Structure 1
Amino acid sequence: MFRPKLLDTLKDYNRQQFIKDIMAGLIVGVVALPLAIAFAIASGVSPEKGLYTAVIAGFIISVLGGSRVQIGGPTGAFIVIVYGIVQQFGINGLIIATFIAGIILIIMGIARLGAIIKFIPYPLIVGFTSGIALIIFSSQMKDFFGLRMGEVPADFTDKWQSYIGNFQSVNIYALLIGAGTVAVIALWPKVTRKIPGSLIALFITTAVVQWLHLPVETIGSRFGSIPSSFPSPVIPDIDFATIQKLIAPAFTIALLGGIESLLSAIVADGMIGGNHKSNTELIAQGIANIFSSIFGGIPATGAIARTATNIKNGGRTPVAGIVHALTLLLIILFIGKWAALIPMAALAGILVIVAYNMSEWENFISVAKGPRGDVAVLLTTFFLTVLIDLTVAIEIGMVLAVFLFMRNMIKFTDVNILTGEHTDKEEGRDKEAVSNYAIPKDVEVFEINGPLFFGAAYKFKDAIRFIKKPSRVFIIRMRYVPIIDATGIRTLREIHKESKSRGTTLILSEVHSKQVIDELRSARLLFAIGKANVTDTFARALRRSDAVINEVRSERKLY
């Protein structure tokens, strides 16, 4: 359940791979620097908190994680939820929510829920990811255009109304810095992919602003100097009342972190031909978030873009992730103070690119052209994320996806009357069709096709109403019933009870599924119906029907 990949990779580790890991780690550490600062500022916290998170969480995720190449740290996906928590509960509330989220992630890993998270509907993921991307883009307009305005409203519509109302205050220098950053990041890959475009853009824009003394806001002018040391660890004071207030956002952090980390690990597996350990990864993510919160950091998870950068530069073991964290630590200790010179417009330009890459607009359009149920989940999650809240979006999106799945499952469950004036739909193709057998006059045959669960049980009840008069024997064919739940058990029990009161013998035919047999046995329904009345073939069900009818006739002759 918990075995870090680091232990597996060190068995056949060599000097050549060590050099590759060091180079990849150095490059990813440099790539992570502007992103960690930008994500922290966009989340409503000071820039150093993003750096602390990248170092502490990045180190722990690499040492204890279940992926060979996963790079952990703050990501754009958390911006929306972190900003909302900070606005509502303050920095202390964020620290406690992150701490609780870490505990939840550990519990999820211990409970082996790693595989389950992989099955979260794709339209739901695309919906909230695209929604987050739009919110990130919207949150950067003040700094991108250098607008002279007060605090940016949290609400999406209020935010844009405020932008429009203050648009006359555009700082042309900030706009040029922001647009120049976007242009450099977009065009730099044509020069080389070894050095990240975001870093080049920061160097160029910072140098231009300082050299020309441009009147634009910088990290230093807004937040002051960046500390060159780590804060002391502080375990948050948590009581039951605090847990009640923060459990919902903490659960959202945990779910979002689990989803993104495992998605990143899956993408990484595809790139290196590996196989990550999902439950180990969840536990590592939980431990990383606990320690991040203790040092005043923000939520962390696996970062897809940084993980891909690690792989492309030769990283193949967790050593690269460890080097990435140590690189950031050295930057903080020795040259972190120079980060205060970075223009806010440049960070806004970086986040505009992040939002564009995160939007997955091609996937959004592809899902929007798909089945109506997927479109409903996609648009519901997207608009709720943008207009209401990410927590609400995930909750309602999941509920909607489950209901739509149930509806589709119900469509696959069929209940057919196969005797009397009704015919077997499969009689031309099915060797075991009822039409191939001689059915006694006093026998009624039903067949259930598909799962007999609470969503489909009503179909069975409705079908039984078509029986005009009680028959001597009532056969239910269950050869195509893979699963049954408590509602299905209850429905069969009611039918058995009603049949018994009418003097009808109930026979269950072709119960092949082990799950169905186990549920019938544990509910003692097999005992109630009688072992002789549960058959493995339809032919035996008919022979049992003949025996029951003959017994009834014999009893009549006696009386």
Structure 2
Amino acid sequence: MLRSSLSAFADRISIPARRRSGPLTFTPNRIKVEILAGLTVALALVPEAVAFAFVAGVEPLVGLYAAFIVGLITACFGGRPGMISGATGALAVVMVALVAQHGVEYLFATVVLMGLMQIAAGVFKLGKFIRLVPHPVMLGFVNGLAIVIFLAQMTQFQTAPAPAGESHGPFNMLHGTWMSGATLYMMLGLVALTMFLIWATPKVTKIIPAPLAGIGIVSILVIALNIPVPNVGDMSSIKGGLPPFHMPQVPLNMETFEIIFPYALILAAIGLIESLLTLNLVGEIKEERGGASQECVAQGVANTVTGFFGGMGGCAMIGQSMINIKSGARTRLSGIAAALFLLAFILFGSSIIEQIPLAALVGVMFMVVIGTFAWQSLTIMRRIPLTDALVIVIVTLVTVWHDLAVAVVVGVIISALTYAWNNARRIDADIEETDDQKIYKIEGPLFFGSAEGFSELFTPNTDPDNVIVDFSRSRVVDQSALQAIENLAAKYESVGKTLQLRHLTHDCHRLLNKAGQLIVDSDDDPDYGLAVNYNVKTGAFGGGH
């Protein structure tokens, strides 16, 4: 289901249907596409980095430096060419409490520790566990993130944010002072014009990325006609110098560690989850696999360096990644170009960039929202299992209401419990009976969820003296399963009957050995597993065929 949704998404953002089997060749045209895509991303990064810095309670340059450093390092060494990383709202909402209570220096120390944790996750290849995230969770993730991106744009239609001290949950940004009258109508009109230009440009020319064309045309129109609408400069000045090396000014003691460790752990988890899910999403579109551990290390190195250069840290950005892919980028060059353009804006081009109307950038992000939301998930709800549909909805809501990490954990837990419940009902047995023996051919996995159903299959009191339990079509998974087998053997022992276990798999053999219940040479049955007898007189398992 996810693949079909992503295929449809790829079609909507005009990704070429033909895939390349090998690395792209850097022809002049390819270089031009990558650089223009990077420029488009950099223009959209500026207001987001500034906005997320405000959310975290730090200066705008702290967000811009993070966007530059994290973006550059992950573009060079990340696990998926074409992905864009930078300062994100998912991390900013966690940072704000730390900054408010302890100050920005503790934030820098936390970002360094966060990066070290992410490097460790990559070194120990923990990124592979992202495979445990089911497809419905992925769909809920992209839908929730699309809604979060949409809500984040609402602040651009306000003249003042929500009053300090008031809390309205994730919809706090909706309680500010709204624009009205001609200013609001002009903003909406320019947003609609930008969206139209992004939609229409590919039909006219593909020389210039559609988002860049939309931003450029609307900016020229606003400047030429002197239209009074908010621009990037109204948020804050983005002018600055090169990010200086800065050792976090915090005491190096256990008290500091106790303060920053919980925040670092949460930030590392959120950053890796969002980055790895974005990695998979971009990978589905580009038909690429792998790179999870490499992405973890790259994110960790980027955040560690950022913490030492006065940045707020960051992770992969699905919105900017989709802008990059939509603009035709497929290599690392686009991400590197985006970071360098962003640095150039900070050093030299602030006066120009600050004139870009926010409406143009909002229009770009609205098109990202339309492209990111898995619309097909709405149509498949009635054709997929009810639990999968609930997972999509729950993950979407939790992503919007709380944060991505909690949403993914909730989705995985629900999916895992549903899987366990469904498999618990699959345990059954085909029974063959003769005058002197009875064979139970077990069907389905034997684990904690099915152990009780397994026990109910047997009738020790009425069975013949010789009973065989055949596991050739089953698997013994965990300690609960081993205990169920022991309990069954004890029941047959109590009525003076013989129980034989056949065709136990090699992994079950290892489990029994580890539990100290079975000592048999693993070569006894190399082709199909071990046939194991339970001796009712000694109360122990023994080898045999």
Please say if 1:248 is aligned against 2:266: yes
Aligned counterpart, 1:499: 492
2:460 matches 1:451? no
Picking from 89, 95, 111, the partner of 2:98 is 89
- Given the superposition, is the C-alpha separation of residues 319 and 535 from structure 1 closer, same or farther in structure 2, using an over 3 Å criterion? closer
Could you say if the C-alpha distance between residues 186 and 20 of structure 1 is closer, same or farther in structure 2, counting changes exceeding 3 Å? Answer: closer
- Summarize deviations over 1:398-435 as a string: whole Å, max 9, x none: 211111111222233x23262xxxxxxxxxxxxxxx36
Tell me the SS of whatever aligns to 2:425.
helix
Q: What do residues 449-476 of structure 1 show as CA deviations (whole Å, max 9, x unaligned)?
A: 1221111111112223x44446422321
Letter of the 2:314 counterpart = P
Contact kept in structure 2, 1:50 and 1:297, CA below 8 Å: yes
Partners in 1 of 2:441 and 2:116 — Cα distance? 48
Give the conservation status (yes or no) of the 8 Å contact 2:472–2:503: yes
**Contact between 1:136 and 1:351, CA under 8 Å: does it hold in 2?**
yes
Q: Which runs of 5+ in 2 are unaligned?
A: 1-21, 251-255, 537-545
Cα pair 1:220 1:341 within 8 Å, conserved? yes
Offset of residue 61 of structure 1? 2.3
Which amino acid in structure 2 is aligned with residue 33 of structure 1?
A: A
Match of 1:173 in 2: 186
Q: What secondary structure sits across from 2:501 in the alignment?
A: strand
Counterpart of 1:460 in structure 2 is 454
1:440 is aligned, of 431, 435, 438, to 435
Q: Would the aligned equivalents of 1:137 and 1:352 in 2 still touch at CA under 8 Å? A: yes
| In structure 1, C-alpha distance between the alignment counterparts of 2:425 and 2:525, rounded to whole Å | 27
Write the letter of the residue equivalent to 1:37: V
Which of 217, 227, 233 is residue 214 of structure 1 equivalent to?
227
Work out the CA distance in 2 between the residues paired with 1:259 and 1:225: 31
Task: Check if 1:55 corresponds to 2:68.
Answer: yes
Work out the number of aligned pairs and report it: 495
The match for 2:297 is: 283
Q: Which residue of 2 aligns with 1:26?
A: 35
Point out the structure with the larger helix share: 1
How big is the shift at 1:515?
Answer: 1.3
Contact 1:101-1:253 at 8 Å conserved across structures: no
Give the drift of 1:40.
1.8
Mapped to 1, the partners of 2:231 and 2:336 lie a distance apart of 30
Residues 40-82 of structure 1 deviation map (CA, whole Å, 9 limit, x = unaligned): 2443546655543443223322432344x3343238xx43x13
Give the distance between the partners of 1:468 and 1:208, measured in 2 at CA: 89
Query: Relative to structure 1, is the Cα distance of residues 174 and 321 closer, same or farther in structure 2, using a 3 angstrom cutoff?
Result: closer
Classify the secondary structure of the residue corresponding to 1:104: helix
* C-alpha separation in 1, matches of 2:160 and 2:334: 42
Amino acid at match of 2:481: G
Percent identical residues:
22
Task: Kindly state the Cα deviation for residue 487 of structure 1 after the two structures are TM-superposed.
Answer: 0.9
The superposition leaves residues 76-110 of structure 1 with CA deviations (integer Å, 9 ceiling, x where unpaired) of xx43x134224433384765554444333322322
Q: 1:428 matched to which residue of 2? A: none
- Structure 1 residues 236 and 193, CA gap change in structure 2 (3 angstroms): farther
In the alignment, structure 1 residue 336 sits paired with structure 2 residue 350: yes
User: Is 1:487 paired with 2:500?
Assistant: no
2:513 to 496, 501, 521: 521
2:56 counterpart of 1:39: no
- Which secondary structure state, in structure 1, belongs to the residue aligned with residue 439 of structure 2? strand
- TM-score normalized by the length of structure 2: 0.78
1:300 aligns with 2:292: no
Q: Which moved more, 1:514-523 or 1:98-107?
A: 98-107
Query: How far apart in 1 are the matches of 2:470 and 2:69?
Result: 60
Report 1:33-432 matches (<5 A): 33-45=42-54, 48-49=61-62, 51-67=64-80, 69-74=81-86, 78-79=88-89, 81-90=90-99, 92=104, 95=108, 98-144=111-157, 146=158, 150=162, 155-156=169-170, 159-160=173-174, 162=175, 166=178, 171-235=184-248, 237=250, 239-268=257-286, 270=287, 276-295=290-309, 296-301=311-316, 304-305=321-322, 308=325, 312=328, 318=332, 321-367=335-381, 369-412=383-426, 414-416=427-429, 418=431
Task: Tell me the CA shift for residue 178 of structure 1.
Answer: 2.4
Between stretches 211-220 and 45-54, larger displacement belongs to 45-54
* Partner amino acid, structure 2, of 1:229: L
CA distance in structure 2 between the aligned counterparts of 1:399 and 1:250, rounded to whole angstroms: 20
Report how far residue 128 of structure 1 moved: 2.5
CA contact (8 A) 1:123 1:378 kept: yes
* Contact 1:507–1:534 (8 Å) recurs in 2: no
Q: Provide the aligned C-alpha RMSD in A.
A: 3.8
SS of the aligned residue for 2:441 comes to strand
Q: 1:506 to 1:535 in 2, by over 3 A?
A: farther
SS at match of 1:341: coil
Quick check: 2:322–2:368 contact (8 Å CA) kept in 1? no
Report the Cα offset of residue 321 of structure 1: 4.4
Q: Which residue is 2:15 aligned to?
A: none
TM-score normalized with structure 1 length: 0.76
Shift of 1:142: 3.9
In structure 2, the residue corresponding to 1:476 is in which secondary structure?
strand
Q: Residues 62 and 70 of structure 1 are in contact (CA less than 8 Å); yes or no, is this contact kept in structure 2?
A: yes
Structure with max Cα Rg? 1
2:541 aligns to what?
A: none
